[in-house]
Amino acid sequence: MRYLSTRGGVEPVGFATAVMMGLGTDGGLLLPETVPRVGPDTLRDWSGISFRDLAVELMTPFVADAIPRTDLVELIGRSYAIFSHQEVTPLVQVGEQRVLELFHGPTAAFKDVALQFLGNVFEYLLARHGGRLNILGATSGDTGSAAIAGVRGKERIRIFILHPAGRVSPVQERQMTTVLDANVHNIAIRGTFDDGQRIVKDLFNDLDFKQQYHLGAINSINWARILAQIVYYFYAWGRMSRGDPGFRIDFAVPTGNFGDIFAGYMAKRMGLPIDRLLIATNRNDILTRFVAGGPYAAGTVHPTLSPAMDIQIASNFERYLYFLVGQDPETVRALLSDLDRTGRMEVTAEQRAALAEDFDAAAVSDAQTLDQIRETYQRHGYLLDPHTAVGVRAARHRADMVCLATAHPAKFNDAVHRAIGIQAPLPTCLRGLLEKETRCTLLDATEEAVRDHIRATLAAR
């Protein structure tokens, strides 16, 4: 399996190079050159196996040039051994809907599914080649803590994580800033997640700086993140289909940076019988407006009760855009140039029709989010975090949809308390966070400030 860039400026590379490169050297995002197809017999075979065994089978064609199967089995086993549920991502019935719980990892968020794996892959590849890596990422909340948990204490890795000061939940902030390992460096920026994402992309696009300081990506711009997330779409289908290759399924996905729902789209391209993927957004509804027929136009980032989705420019949308325009890098570059220059981009009527075939979309307000948390708890005794509540609300008239639960409700107890007057019990991984010592650096939201901080930190080490 070889990987190429959405912008066409990278010669096809193997899995190891793709993982270590993160963002393409041409500024694009990496994708497999071909998407393997999963036939009916394979679907039937996969439907009854464990999450770990499924991950091995699904990932093998994507990683075989870099990771032998026996090593992949060990990496996957180690990545998911610390999850609190034996199924890793269990599917539960909540009234008429099914909820796919993705929050049983060490930081109680869906990002753990990918980042425990990616952290171990980084360590494996670096040990084999004797290299070192300085990870740089931006987070709207959960990616940062999951990334830190995936690489803390690893000998050959240092990690720099940017989060928007005051725009993540107190628990999310403490999950990052209370990790005091010497290889962990937290940065709060005076700005938004989009500012942080822009800074990270600009630094990766400075190829001299990237190479000199051995920068690596752990945001969902890294293809390995998407690969790991594809697994739980197949797993959910297997738990519902009873091995029937003709069984069709729909998913509702709380959506911010488009990585989680793009994994579902890739599962569909691989042959998983998905009918509809529902993009569920909060007030920051650029994707909902686009699917509804409007332009892809960036606006102001509005703080909401679901802060991990407070995003305007969704990085992973570029991967979908590449497929939408017929895998034509020149068209991708032109559309993104329009977006950079004017703050908006338009697609053709034919492309818009294809978009409507792939996705539905709905936007959910804060008031509706609170109402959904309240309604689900009162009717079914089940607690939703505000992000999952956005997905459940968007799918409320679609009982056939599987709703992705992206975080444990205790990570957002302010919203839970506002909705129902009580707080969610803390899982073990969240207890005592607010009493722990913290370490974090506050910087202006500029490329120069972050660049200088990285230089100074690494020079001191």
pLDDT in tens, 173-190: 999 999 999 999 999 999
Whether 448 is covered by a domain: the verdict is no
Spell out the residues 6+ positions from residue 337 whose beta carbon is closer than 8 angstroms to its own: none
Whether 283 is covered by a domain: the verdict is yes
Is a pLDDT exceeding 80 seen at residue 141? Answer: no
Percent of the chain with pLDDT over 70: 100
Q: Which residues are catalytic?
A: 111
pLDDT at 11: 95
Whether 343 is covered by a domain: the verdict is yes
DSSP-based three-state secondary structure for 136: strand
Average pLDDT, the chain: 95
Spell out the residues 6+ positions from residue 349 whose beta carbon is closer than 8 angstroms to its own: none
pLDDT at 57: 98
| 236 vs 388: CA distance, rounded Å | 16
pLDDT at 315: 87
pLDDT at 389: 98
pLDDT at 45: 97
Spell out the residues 6+ positions from residue 229 whose beta carbon is closer than 8 angstroms to its own: 110, 113, 114, 259, 260, 263
Interior CA angle at 22 toward 21 and 24, to 5°? Answer: 75
Contact criterion met (CB below 8 Å) for 31 and 4: yes
Is a pLDDT exceeding 80 seen at residue 22? Answer: yes
DSSP-based three-state secondary structure for 94: strand
Whether 371 is covered by a domain: the verdict is yes
User: pTM for the complete prediction?
Assistant: 0.93
Provide the token pair at 112: 């753990």
pLDDT at 221: 87
DSSP-based three-state secondary structure for 230: helix
pLDDT at 185: 98
**Helices assigned H by DSSP within 47-110:** 51-63, 69-80
Whether 288 is covered by a domain: the verdict is yes
Is a pLDDT exceeding 90 seen at residue 363? Answer: yes
Residue 214 CB burial class (10 angstroms; 0-12, 13-18, ≥19): middle
Domain span at residue 265 reads: 91-108+224-429
Whether 75 is covered by a domain: the verdict is no
pLDDT at 109: 95
Spell out the residues 6+ positions from residue 206 whose beta carbon is closer than 8 angstroms to its own: none
**Helices assigned H by DSSP within 11-68:** 15-21, 40-46, 51-63
Is a pLDDT exceeding 80 seen at residue 60? Answer: yes
Is a pLDDT exceeding 90 seen at residue 127? Answer: yes
Q: What's the number of domains the chain is made of?
A: 1
What's the average model confidence in pLDDT over 336-343? 93
| 53 vs 197: CA distance, rounded Å | 34
| 390 vs 311: CA distance, rounded Å | 15
Spell out the residues 6+ positions from residue 228 whose beta carbon is closer than 8 angstroms to its own: 55, 59, 113, 114, 117, 118
| 95 vs 298: CA distance, rounded Å | 37
pLDDT at 140: 81
Whether 311 is covered by a domain: the verdict is yes
Residues pairing with 4 in the sheet:
31
Terminal CA-CA length for the chain:
37
Provide the token pair at 319: 């991967």
| 250 vs 400: CA distance, rounded Å | 7
Among 435, 84, 402, 430, smallest CA distance to 264 is for: 402
pLDDT at 192: 93
What's the average model confidence in pLDDT over 9-18? 96
CATH of the domain at 298: 3.40.50.1100
pLDDT at 142: 82
Contact criterion met (CB below 8 Å) for 84 and 410: no
pLDDT tens-digit series, residues 408-445: 999 999 999 999 999 999 999 999 998 999 999 999 99
**Helices assigned H by DSSP within 242-328:** 259-270, 286-291, 317-324
What's the average model confidence in pLDDT over 46-62? 97
Whether 385 is covered by a domain: the verdict is yes
pLDDT at 429: 92
Lowest mean pLDDT among 277-281, 352-356, 363-367, 377-381: 352-356
| 232 vs 226: CA distance, rounded Å | 11
Is a pLDDT exceeding 90 seen at residue 313? Answer: no
Is a pLDDT exceeding 90 seen at residue 34? Answer: yes
pLDDT confidence band for 42 (50 / 70 / 90): very high
pLDDT at 461: 73
